[in-house]
Chains A and B, each alone.
Chain A
Amino acid sequence: MNVLVLYAHPVETSFHAALHRLIVERLSAAGHIVDDCDLYAEDFDPRMSRAERLAYHDGHTPSEEIGRYVERLRRAEALVLAFPVWNFGYPAILKGFFDRVFLPGVSFTMIDGEAVPSLHNIRKVAAISTYGGSRLRAFLMGDPPRKLVTRLLRATVKPGAQVSYLAHYSMNLSTEESRKSFKARVAAKMDRF
């Protein structure tokens, strides 16, 4: 499968960077064609501009920069998100990918003012995330990033697509062991992807 990996962590020596390498390595080893989109390395600007906002509903051809990302998204048959949870949301750089690339005509169609999901080329989704706080705290906060994946992304991609969400909570209290076991879970998930 063509798998688009969207990765959003700025620090090369972070635990998430290790997860990212693991994801790409295991997916490639399993025979997938991996398009590794490292948003920080590609210096993605997450800010939707005035011109983009004004043209949003007009079906204009996106800029060359965004057009390339649209092309990569369209080519993908599966999506793997790897991101740290900051302030109970996606990092801005990843949120901006949705704002600027998941455009009308790409991931949904506007029909009489209603957004109808249409990113049906994506047949499988996995998200790998890390939280500073505990699972209980995330639950009390309504766990917005989990909902963005298991509800919103699920509703956006091909109906019936498999969507999974793997999270290491309490990163601030993580141990060598907890990190190792999370890596093993991620590796197993990618091997079977």
Chain B
Amino acid sequence: MRVLVVYCHPVPDSFCAALRDVAIGTLTAQGWDVRLVDLYADGFDPVLGTDERRHYHDRAPADPALATHIGNLKWAEAILFVYPTWWYGLPAMLKGWLDRVWATDVAFKLPADGGRIVSLVPHITRIGVVTTCGAPWWMSMLMGQPGRKTILRGIRALCARRSRTLYVAHYDMDRSTPQSRAAFLKKVRRKVARF
């Protein structure tokens, strides 16, 4: 299967980078065809600009900087997001990737008569998230896990019907220990192997 790994963290030697490497290693070992998007390394601009917004409902975004990303969406059969959860949501950088790439005539079409939204990415059948949350599990539940829902409900709704999902999170990162992080890396390996 073809899997796009979308990775977002500003610090190259962060724990998230280790998660990315474990995820990619596991997927490759399973025979998956992996493509990596590293938003910070690529210097991606997450701000949906005036012109792009103006034509949002008329046509696919024209910025050549998005061409590779749009190509990746067409190519992928699965997407695995690896990022830190900040303020219970996605880092702005990653949110902007959704804002700009998951656009009209790329990810979906809106019928002019106001009918149901039509998916243009029904070939994506798996959506996964590997993340770290500063907050403990119970606090994340209390806040309603907005970040998880943006991806596993909002983005998933644009993909194949009944896409498979995966969500693995290291909660309470602010109190993590070498042991908890090692255990989490193991867990990610196990879960991603079954993705």
Contacts and interface: CB of A to CB of B under 8 A. Distances in A.
Interface in A123-170: 132-133, 137, 140-145, 147-148, 151-152, 155
B10 interface: yes
A59 interface: no
Contacts of B105: none
Contacts of B153: 88, 140-142
B86 to A, nearest CB: 5
A12 B47 CA distance: 16
Determine the interface band of chain A, counting residues with CB < 8 A from chain B.
35 or more
Interface stretch (A29-37, A70-78, A96-104, A176-184): A96-104
B122 interface: no
Determine the interface band of chain B, counting residues with CB < 8 A from chain A.
35 or more
A141 B149 contact: yes
Interface string A106-125: 00001011110000000000
Contact of B91 (A99, A133, A140, A173): A99
Interface in B93-117: 93, 95-96, 98-99, 102, 110, 114, 117
A152 B147 CA distance: 12
A99 B86 contact: yes
Interface stretch (B49-57, B71-79, B187-195): B49-57
A11 B149 CA distance: 27
Contacts of B27: none
Contacts, number: 152
B144 A147 contact: yes
Contact of A147 (B95, B102, B146): B146
B143 A155 contact: yes
A92 B96 contact: yes
Interface stretch (A41-49, A60-68, A185-193): A41-49
A155 B175 CA distance: 21
A60 to B, nearest CB: 15
Interface string A73-99: 000000000000011111111011011
Contacts of B182: none
Contacts of B149: 88, 141-144, 147
A92 B93 contact: yes
B65 interface: no
A46 to B, nearest CB: 4
A40 interface: yes
A108 to B, nearest CB: 10
Contacts of B135: 115
Contacts of B96: 46, 92-93
A10 B110 CA distance: 21
Nearest to B156: A141
A87 B110 contact: no
B25 interface: no
Contact of A91 (B57, B99, B143, B175): B99
A95 B89 CA distance: 8
A98 B154 contact: no
A50 interface: yes
Contacts of B110: 132, 172
Interface of B: 9-12, 14, 40, 46-50, 52-54, 57, 86-93, 95-96, 98-99, 102, 110, 114, 117, 134-135, 142-147, 149-150, 153-155, 157, 172, 174-175
Interface of A: 9-12, 14, 40, 45-50, 52-54, 57, 86-93, 95-96, 98-100, 102, 110, 112-115, 132-133, 137, 140-145, 147-148, 151-152, 155, 172-173
